[in-house]
Structures are given as C-alpha cells and as structure tokens.
Amino acid sequence: MPKRTDMQNILIIGSGPIVIGQGCEFDYSGTQACKALREEGYRVVLLNSNPATIMTDPELADRTYIEPITPEFIAKVLHQEKRLGQPIDALLPTLGGQTGLNCAVRVAELGILDEYGVEMIGADREVIHRAEDRTEFKRAMERIGADVPRSEIAHTWDEARRAVDRVHLPCVIRPGYTLGGEGGGFARTMEEFETIVNRGLAASPVDEVLIEEDLCGWKEFELEVMRDRADNVVIICSIENFDPMGVHTGDSITVAPAQTLTDKEYQRMRDSAIAIIREIGVETGGSNIQFGVDPCTGRQVVIEMNPRVSRSSALASKATGYPIAKIAAKLAVGYTLDEIPNDITQKTPASFEPTIDYCVVKIPRWTFEKFADADETLTTQMKSVGEGMAIGRTFKEAFQKAIRSMEIKRFGYGLDANDKWLAARRQSRDSVEHASGEARFTATSTEAPPDTQEEHAGEWPIPDEVLRDKLTNPCQGRPYYIRYAFKMDWTVEKVHALTGIDPWFLENLHELVECENALLAGEYSGELKSAGYSDVQIAAGRGAVGARPVYKLVDTCAGEFEAETPYYYSSHEGGMIRLGDPVPYVDDEIRVGDKEKVIVLGGGPNRIGQGIEFDYCCCHASFAARESGFESVMINSNPETVSTDYDTSDKLFFEPLTHEDVFNICDRLNGDAGQDGGLVKGVIVQFGGQTPLNLAQGLKDAGVPILGTSPESIHEAEDREAFQQILRELSLLQPPNGIAFNLDGAVEVAERVGYPVLVRPSYVLGGRGMEKCNNEADLTAYMSEAVKASDRNYTGRCEHPVLIDKFLIDAIEVDVDAVADFGSPGDHTDRDCMICGVMEHIEEAGVHSGDSTSVLPPYSLGDLVVEDMRRSTRKLAERLNVCGLMNIQFAVLNRTVYVIEVNPRASRTVPFVSKATGVPWARVATRVMLGEPLRGVADSYGAVCGMRPAHVSIKAPVFPFTKFPGVDVILGPEMRSTGEVMGIDRSFGRAFAKAQIGCGLSLPTVGNALVSVNDPDKPRVVPIARDLRDMGFSIYSTTGTKRVLEQAGIRATLVSKSTETGAPFLKDLILDGTLDLLVNTPIHTGSASDEGRWRAAATMRRVPLITTLAGARAAVEAIRSMKQDAEVGPTGALGVRALQDYITPPND
C-alpha cells in the first residue's frame, strides 16, 4: 500500500526530560521518525520540552514546540497550528515513550483530538488502553489462549488484601501506567506487601496496582515485533536477560539474540508475540513483548507489552542494524514492510527478520553513589540511569567489551585495578611493581566504583556468607562476585542455585575465569583476545599485549548480503590459509577509503552529569565535519543515542571508549601512510564529556592528532595551581581557596579561607564527591570519604588532591558558554572569542550548576557585570589558547565577579544555549577546530557575540528522587538531576512556569502554602510569604517562621514538624493533600532527619517543593504570570510558540 495522501501535517510528541526509565533512546527514535516523515514529504510538528535533544533542533522538524508535554499544551499547539493555517491532521503517539503515549491518550480522552479533527496513527486510544490496562490486557491474553501469570488487580488496600489470598506471597506489585515500574516492588511478607501496595497506589495515576504471581528465578525474554497495515508481522530481535525475573529488564544485563531457547520454544514465543500484537490491535509500528519462561518446565507466560518503541527497541535497532523507529514511522503513514527497503543491504526489503552472527551484551549503568541512602538492591523498579552495549563475535568477547564500556574503572572481567582478588595477591607478594601499560590506563579513569557497597564485602578471601548474600541479592556488582565465587572454586551449579542465572551464561563466565587462570599460570594462549581480554588485563597477568583486532560489519543478515552501511565492531578472529600465500589472511571488513577523517569520541553510557547533552554535541561535531567535506567517524558505546545511529556519521564504530579500543581504530583508519600525513585529520575529544577527555593525553602521546584546544590547555585549566597562576596573571578573582592532600592540610586551608567551605576531589564530573562543609567536623568526615571518590593507586595515596574553596554565601552563580579560535590550526590572524550565552542561575552558588535552574538572558545582573564576565571570558580563552568551546562558571557577589571554574570543552548547557539563541554552537565550534576562522563561521550561522534574545529561556533540572524512596531531596554541590526541560516565553515568570510544568510540577495558583525556613532565611522569606498571601494563598508555618511572619503582619496556621505537639503534623498535611505548595529551606538534611523524611514524602506525593529562597521568588513570579494570563482567558494562559518563530519571527 502506498503512503497516505489524506494527511499532511503530523504531530510527534517527544518524551520530555531524561528520567530513570526514559532516557535518550526516545531522542533517537523521535529523530528517526522526524527524518523519515519529512523524507516522505509530510510536514512535521514536534512537541518536546527537552532542549538537549537532537530532535528539537529547528531543522529536524517544520515546527518545533519546546513546551511542556501535557494535554493542555498539546491543545495549545493544535490551536496555534490551526490558527496559522496548517491544522494538524494526525498525531503519532508511539515514539515518545510512556510520557508521549500517556499524554496522547489523555488528549484523546478529553475530546481534544476530536475537537481539532486529529487522527491518532500507529496505535489509537483503544489499542493503547488494551495494552496498558492490566485487566484488559489479561482478558486479551485469555482470548488468544496465551498463558499469563496468576494475578489480581486492586484499587484499594482492602482489595489488595483479598487479592493476595488468591495470588499468594511472595508476589510482585506493579502500579498501572507508570514509567520504569516506578512504585512497584517484590513482597515476601505481609508487611512488605502493605508498604509496596500503598506506594504503588500512590504512584499510579489511576490508583491501580497489579498483584502478581512471583516468577522470580524464571528466565526472561523480550521480542521486538513490527506490524504493518497489511497485517504482515516480523520479529526484529530476541533479547534474553542474563538476570532472571525479579530484576527490571532495564536493570538487567541483556543479551541478543536469545541464547538458551530451542527452535521449538522460540517459535512458540514468536507465535504468541504475533498473536498478541494482532489481538491488541497495534495497527502499525513496533511493540515490545516480554515473556517469562520457567526453566524447569518450559512454561511460557506473557509478562507485558509496550505498544510503542521503547528502550529495548532502541537496543534492538542498534543490535541488529534494523531501524525500528524509522520503519515504524513509515508504516504509520501507510507503507507496508515489503515496500520499504532495508537501508543496510539496500537491495532487500524491510519485510524480513534480521539474523545476526555476533553477540550483543548490554549492561546498565547505575549511579547509586549519588544517593547515599538509596537501596541498591535491584528489583522490579528500574534504578539505572544509562546503559552501555558491546558487540563481539561471542558472548565472552561482548561481555568483556561491555564491562569496559561502563567506565567504572573496569577493563573487563577481573584482572584490573578494581579486582579484589588481584589486589590481595599483589599484597601477599608484597610487590609494588606493576605492568607499565596498566599504570598508564588506570591513571586516567575517574569514575565511580561498580558497587558502592563493595567495601562491605571485606578483603580477600570474601567470607562465604557475604559472598552468598551478594549472589542471592541482585545488585550492580553481582557479576564480579560471581567471578570471585569461581575464583574460590565454587561450582556453576552452586552459583546457579544462588543467582538463578542460566548455567549457560555462568559457564561462559566460568570459562573466562579458567582463561584468566591459564594466563596467570603463564600458559598464555592466543584465545585471550578473542575472549575479550583487554591489554590492561593481559598486562596485569603478564601476558603479551598489542594484538590488533579486525573490524566486522553489522549487516542485519549474517553475511548473506553485502552491507552498504559502514557500521562496525571490533573482534579478534583467527585467520585462514590461502594456498600459495605464505601469510595467513585475516578477514577485516573495514573500507578505509581515501577521504580525510575526523573522529568524534562519544560520551559512553549516560550517567548523572554526563548524558544526552554531550551526545547532542557529538552529533553536531559529526554533522559539521561532514559539512566541511571530511569523512566523519563516530566511536561510542551507548545504544540509546542518536550518535550511534548508523546514518549520523560516515562511519560508526560501536566500541568501548578506552585507550586501546580507540587507538586501534585511529591507527587502522589512518591508512598505510603512517601516523604523519595519514588519513586521520584528528580526533575530537571535547564534546563527549569527561570520558573522551580522559583519553586525550594518552592518544596524543601515542601520536594521534587531537583537534581543538590542546590536552595541555585542558589540563592547565583543571590543575588548580596552574590555573590559579593564570588567574593571577590575568588579574581575575577567585574565591579564596587551597589544595590539600590530607586532613591536616585541609583543616589548615579551611581555617585560612574561613568556613563554610566547598570541598571536592579534582578531576571530577557532575560534582561527584563535592560537599559543603560548615565546620571542622564536617571536613573531617568528608576527608575520610574523599579518598574513595578520587582516584587511587595500589598504595592508597590520593593521586588527585582535594580542592577547598571558600563558599560564597548568597552569591549569584553564572554559566557562560563561549567559542574561540585562539588555538586554531588555521593561518588567519583575526582570532576571536564569542559568547554563546550568559546564563544566570536562580539558586545561589553552592548548588551544582547541573542542578540549578538557569535563565538566559540574565534576569537580575546589570550590564556592567555581564560585560565584566565577557571580558574575563575573552582573556581566559586567549590565555588558554582555546580552540572550540569553553564554559566558565562565575560567582557574582556584590557586583564583584569571581571565577569559579573554567572548562575548555563543551558543557552541558551547549544544547540549551543553542536552542535559546538559534545558533548551532557545537557546529560552529567544530568548524573552528577544523581550522576555519571563527568570525567567518559565526557569520554563516548568523551568530552574534553575546546575543541577548528578546525572549526568556529557562532550563530546569529533573530529579530521580521518586525512584529512591526516603532519599532527602535538598540540592547541594553534588549533581543529582538526570535531565532537564526548557521553558521559553516572552517573560521570566511565564518561562519559569512552563519550565516547572515541564518538570511535572504544576505550580498551584490557589491553595495552601507551607512556609518554613532556616534562621538566616527568616527575614528574607517575609516578602515571599506576603506575595503568596496577596495572591490568595493560605499560609501554613512552623513555630519559628510563623513568629517572624506574624511580626510582619502575615497570618499563618501553625503546623508541627513532629507528632509530639498538639498542632497538625506536617507530614500528615502533605500526605492528605492539604498543602499545595511547600517553601522550605533546610536546617537539617539527610534521610534520617525529620525534615528529610517529610521532604521525601512530599516528593513521593508530587507536591511542589521549593528548597531555596531564590527558587521561591521565581515561583511567586511564575504564579503571578499564570494568574494574569488566566484572566485573559483559557487560551491566553501561557501561550505557545514554535522555536522557528522565535528565531525568525513571523509577520503576524
């Protein structure tokens, strides 16, 4: 069937901010969909609140609305487009994750789609309901005879109690319509059952939980299914979970294709999947269906279905080369599978099932170290923030590559710096000499440990009961404990009994341990490399290093057809003899070509502090390199991203970002010409966050040209003493500070600069390990922990020292992004530095910049201060010989500007600034790095230095606190947000209101507001409380604050922080919904404090909670705007405008 011609304007809904359970995979799928639909001539209108996405680049869609994803705003977009004369015909809801899907259902239910005559394509409301509603889904499964787990639905605690009598404990509780299983859990006892049911009911927007038969220990599988209008159905990929049921699939190590199903079992699953997609009625597009299999009997049950593209479908696309989202978009407009070509082979159609001749392993990436009180046990609620994927010819090779991709100081399965066993062995030998190769690599890795509780396991040998416990309870470090168990001669059977992991997987891990033992015994064999061992590991085992891999193609067809798309992975393969040829031939599929190449290093797995923003920059670097006539090459290990889409770059290498893996690619691509004058123009390291920066010096030392600001300059900016010297030279101010290598030194510095102080290890990302210390006790506690966060060698000495800054109370923090060409390789003389954007933070200095709400242009700073910062930026750019992007953080106190930090690389704010100013800054920077003069490039994009847009853009952070119940939500110097939204409008108040709505917090315009602040804040909270009262809020207050407010003539109702007094208990008022808005600046923090507990409760209940005065002031402003707009009329309240219209205002 050809494409439909009865529609022209299609609305795509994105997934909004990155949160746990909904990452940048939806930018990947949405971007593909936008491109696919425009390729077919449709006019694409996009709604997404996340500015860090490629899909919200103004050239990706015809109309881009960076507005909150709510039914109200969808209605506004429909209204606006209709008003402008091109009404929306269709809504494609299946590409924006659960957020997009839920929102689409709600607009349909509210009758908005009917009102505007919009058709839902792909999956309609009934289909989504059948798939998502537990009861409906179960009924549908019964109709087609598919086996499902015993289960009951409950809407109240009483219903739940009756249900559990039929289902039996232990059981699983899953709330309806939530992301990543939020609020769900596994209950063994009635006590646990009650807690989880109540939490689940609260989390579910429809007050519904599913109580289900416990399938813990069963094998878990997923199938990715596609269907077209002609009812053709194909399975794109099968995925088997390494971890058995009981661990959310997003938290499981997963393997593609499925490894332990016979054809009979696999086909039975395939038949079910096809029957399910037909019965649920997904008309076109992709779905993900999960199955559980009883390992003893083979009984197969259907767990759930997602009638949309998902995290797994992104993984499946990357794992097979089959672009699910792109095909889904084409199917939605009427094509059938046999009418769409397979991009990879170009000769065969998309109506086939990919088959692969390699193994794919995905490992999730967690950041528990950021949430001190979080429960690290892996359950049915997803907790990971990202994932890395690796491709190898065998499971062993892929598994070790995937571990290397995690960037957790592991270079494979054991034999590296984090190996307890190796450390114990070295200690016992009393040997300090290490393999030289290893020292070089470990020094550059600065990420979190793989198991933050690892120290609890004690030293080697690990006590039996500890190991048993580690194997029984799924946690992020479990695979490593499995290795320790094998090291201690535990059998596969014993480990299987404790973990439930399939013996086939365990056998592979056991074989790795045998491999490693052979290496250590000096019986080195060539198979080590093909089992995935890195040179770091082999060096640690004193084997010979330096073997080079071959590169194989991902081709969707296991070699049956020639692949046109250059999507590669490395592998170590044996050669073959060719008669008459004395040298064995090794098959390498790389097509080097003769074009000069620019290699872009991606950011690896998403984690807090390093996410989609960097991927955005990497993609733009690749686009710019192509634009400038180079061949662009991307290296990355993150399957969720746009950068690992095979058509983003001219060549894609799905590889871990370690020195060895990256260097081998550079070397291979450089061609025969040798390092000098080879085909590699250079490597771009400044866009992928800390990951590629850590590799820069090593690559440079190995002779690989680094493009842009030199690693030495970057180091100079990061090295405290060198940097201080530079600031003195340039007469720039810095908060008083010092550097310490131990506790005594730290106390000395703190006393010199005066408390409070900010302390942190050097070379960190996302404020890891950063804390504010108010006194010496805080500092002592910090220093004993600090050694862990910072890098450490075997002797335990801190390699990177601790930095101590005076904390500037009440200073305003400002982020400046700039691009400069002082270090350009070009021969032009008119070198320059351009300000991309000046962003004023709403929260005072001390809150991590990634967690702050920032405003562009600055809303309270005077022109002179801004000018001062501009001059400082230019001086620094020139002095550091910057070539490309740089980010500077300033603190402004009483009109004095202090330099906090300079990072001569792309910052997290680059995509936001690009959206706010309409200039693709990462692209500008890349072309500058390639040698073009900044002024010329800037002109070509219409960029103006320090442009001050007429509109206000606000970037607000989104936090994962609801995933970590009980964790205190107070902001601090350690970054904890997972994503961001952008609010854009004509005024500050409106933009702030939109940003808040985008974060999922609807500021109330009426109701009860709590005002409770610490002593220093008390006098200053009065005007805020007065404004709230004047706007009609009833004020509630705790004793101290109430006294201050009443002195100022503001009446407040008394509430109590504890249950002991007679006044209403604050936590009760939060839980029963009395309070609509909370303004609270903390006295005590931490989950153990009363305050921490009720703040956590407010977060779980989703009551807007503001923890800084600056934030409260902004909220007041926003509420005022919302009230004013509301008086204008319903459509006037917070109107919408496409990004294209901000950049080039229409003539209306």
Q: How far is the CB of 278 from other proteins (least distance, A)?
A: 13
Q: Does 429 bind other proteins (CB under 8 A)?
A: no
Of 530 and 914, CB closest to other proteins? 530
Residue of 41, 117, 349, 754 interacting with other proteins (CB under 8 A): 349
Q: Does 298 bind other proteins (CB under 8 A)?
A: yes
Q: Does 85 bind other proteins (CB under 8 A)?
A: no
Please name the residue that has the structure tokens 């609020």: 183
Q: How far is the CB of 296 from other proteins (least distance, A)?
A: 6
Of 267 and 940, CB closest to other proteins? 267
Would you state the structure tokens that stand for residue 285, as one six-digit string? 């597009």
Of 394 and 762, CB closest to other proteins? 394
Name residues contacting other proteins, limited to 715-754 (CB under 8 A): none
Whole-angstrom Cα distance, residue 424 to residue 446?
22
Q: Does 355 bind other proteins (CB under 8 A)?
A: yes
Q: Does 232 bind other proteins (CB under 8 A)?
A: yes
Task: Return the DSSP state at 1136.
Answer: -
Residue of 25, 132, 502, 843 interacting with other proteins (CB under 8 A): 502
Would you state the structure tokens that stand for residue 544, as one six-digit string? 């010979």
Alpha-carbon 232 to chain mean position:
34
For residue 1105, the cross-strand partners are: 1078
Of 513 and 1069, CB closest to other proteins? 513
Instruction: Select from 554-562, 765-773, 958-966, 1001-1009 the region that touches other proteins (CB under 8 A).
Output: 554-562
Q: Does 234 bind other proteins (CB under 8 A)?
A: yes
Instruction: Select from 502-510, 778-786, 949-957, 1074-1082 the region that touches other proteins (CB under 8 A).
Output: 502-510
Whole-angstrom Cα distance, residue 287 to residue 22?
16
Q: Does 263 bind other proteins (CB under 8 A)?
A: yes
Instruction: Select from 349-357, 777-785, 1010-1018, 1130-1138 the region that touches other proteins (CB under 8 A).
Output: 349-357
Q: Does 557 bind other proteins (CB under 8 A)?
A: yes
Q: How far is the CB of 317 from other proteins (least distance, A)?
A: 17
Instruction: Select from 59-67, 356-364, 420-428, 960-968 the region that touches other proteins (CB under 8 A).
Output: 356-364
Q: Does 587 bind other proteins (CB under 8 A)?
A: yes
Residue of 217, 281, 461, 503 interacting with other proteins (CB under 8 A): 503
Q: Does 128 bind other proteins (CB under 8 A)?
A: no
Instruction: Select from 226-234, 540-548, 975-983, 1006-1014 the region that touches other proteins (CB under 8 A).
Output: 226-234
- In this structure, the strands spanning 706-707 and 757-761 are unpaired
Of 579 and 583, CB closest to other proteins? 579
Q: Does 238 bind other proteins (CB under 8 A)?
A: yes
Q: How far is the CB of 553 from other proteins (least distance, A)?
A: 9
Q: Does 270 bind other proteins (CB under 8 A)?
A: yes
One-letter identity of residue 779: L
1062: burial class by Cβ within 10 Å (0-12, 13-18, 19+)? exposed
Q: Does 580 bind other proteins (CB under 8 A)?
A: yes
Residue of 259, 762, 793, 1085 interacting with other proteins (CB under 8 A): 259
| 559 phi, psi to nearest 5 deg | 90, 0
Q: Is 713 helix (H, G, I), strand (E, B) or coil?
A: helix
Contacts with other proteins by CB under 8 A: the residue count is 64
Q: Does 552 bind other proteins (CB under 8 A)?
A: yes
Q: Is 526 helix (H, G, I), strand (E, B) or coil?
A: coil
Q: Is 13 helix (H, G, I), strand (E, B) or coil?
A: strand
Alpha-carbon 246 to chain mean position:
23
Name residues contacting other proteins, limited to 436-495 (CB under 8 A): 492
Q: How far is the CB of 555 from other proteins (least distance, A)?
A: 9
- In this structure, the strands spanning 771-773 and 757-761 are antiparallel
Name residues contacting other proteins, limited to 360-419 (CB under 8 A): 393-395
- In this structure, the strands spanning 771-773 and 802-806 are unpaired
- Residue pair 447/604 in contact (Cβ under 8 Å)? The answer is no
Whole-angstrom Cα distance, residue 1029 to residue 1140?
39
Of 574 and 1032, CB closest to other proteins? 574
Whole-angstrom Cα distance, residue 463 to residue 763?
35
Instruction: Select from 168-176, 471-479, 558-566, 872-880 the region that touches other proteins (CB under 8 A).
Output: 558-566
Of 278 and 700, CB closest to other proteins? 278
Q: Does 1065 bind other proteins (CB under 8 A)?
A: no
Q: How far is the CB of 355 from other proteins (least distance, A)?
A: 5
Which residues, in sequence order, are CB contacts of 911 under 8 Å at separation 6+?
Answer: 51, 52, 53, 612, 613, 616, 617, 922
One-letter identity of residue 1143: I
Write the Ramachandran bin of 1117: left for phi over 0, alpha for psi from -120 to 50, otherwise beta. Answer: alpha
- Residue pair 740/802 in contact (Cβ under 8 Å)? The answer is yes
Q: Does 575 bind other proteins (CB under 8 A)?
A: yes
- Residue pair 33/325 in contact (Cβ under 8 Å)? The answer is yes
Q: Is 272 helix (H, G, I), strand (E, B) or coil?
A: helix
Polymer length of the chain: 1148
Site string for other proteins, 624-653 (x = CB under 8 A): ------------------------------
- Residue pair 922/873 in contact (Cβ under 8 Å)? The answer is no
Of 34 and 234, CB closest to other proteins? 234
Instruction: Select from 10-18, 160-168, 257-265, 626-634 the region that touches other proteins (CB under 8 A).
Output: 257-265
Q: How far is the CB of 298 from other proteins (least distance, A)?
A: 5
Alpha-carbon 1109 to chain mean position:
29
One-letter identity of residue 433: E
Q: How far is the CB of 529 from other proteins (least distance, A)?
A: 13
Q: Does 1015 bind other proteins (CB under 8 A)?
A: no
Please name the residue that has the structure tokens 């123009």: 681
Q: How far is the CB of 144 from other proteins (least distance, A)?
A: 15
Residue of 190, 497, 544, 577 interacting with other proteins (CB under 8 A): 577
Q: Is the C-alpha dihedral spanning 151, 153, 157, 163 positive or negative? A: negative
- Residue pair 209/193 in contact (Cβ under 8 Å)? The answer is no
Instruction: Select from 167-175, 202-210, 262-270, 677-685 the region that touches other proteins (CB under 8 A).
Output: 262-270
Q: Name the residue among 143, 141, 163, 166 with its Cα closest to residue 154.
A: 163
Measuring CA to CA, how many Å separate 304 from each of 131, 276, 292, 512? Answer: 8, 10, 10, 34
- Residue pair 1057/1145 in contact (Cβ under 8 Å)? The answer is no
Instruction: Select from 17-25, 556-564, 1105-1113, 1117-1125 the region that touches other proteins (CB under 8 A).
Output: 556-564
Whole-angstrom Cα distance, residue 281 to residue 502?
34
Residue of 560, 564, 721, 867 interacting with other proteins (CB under 8 A): 560
Site string for other proteins, 508-537 (x = CB under 8 A): x--x--------------------------
Q: Does 573 bind other proteins (CB under 8 A)?
A: yes
- Residue pair 1035/1143 in contact (Cβ under 8 Å)? The answer is no
Residue of 578, 595, 895, 1084 interacting with other proteins (CB under 8 A): 578
Longest dimension (CA), the chain: 100
Please name the residue that has the structure tokens 């599929």: 589
Would you state the structure tokens that stand for residue 674, as one six-digit string? 């040798």
- Residue pair 580/543 in contact (Cβ under 8 Å)? The answer is no
Q: How far is the CB of 506 from other proteins (least distance, A)?
A: 8
Whole-angstrom Cα distance, residue 850 to residue 976?
8
Which residues bind to other proteins, rule: CB under 8 A?
230-232, 234-235, 238, 257-264, 266-267, 270-271, 295-298, 336-338, 347-349, 351-359, 393-395, 492, 502-504, 507-508, 511, 552, 557-562, 573-580, 586-587
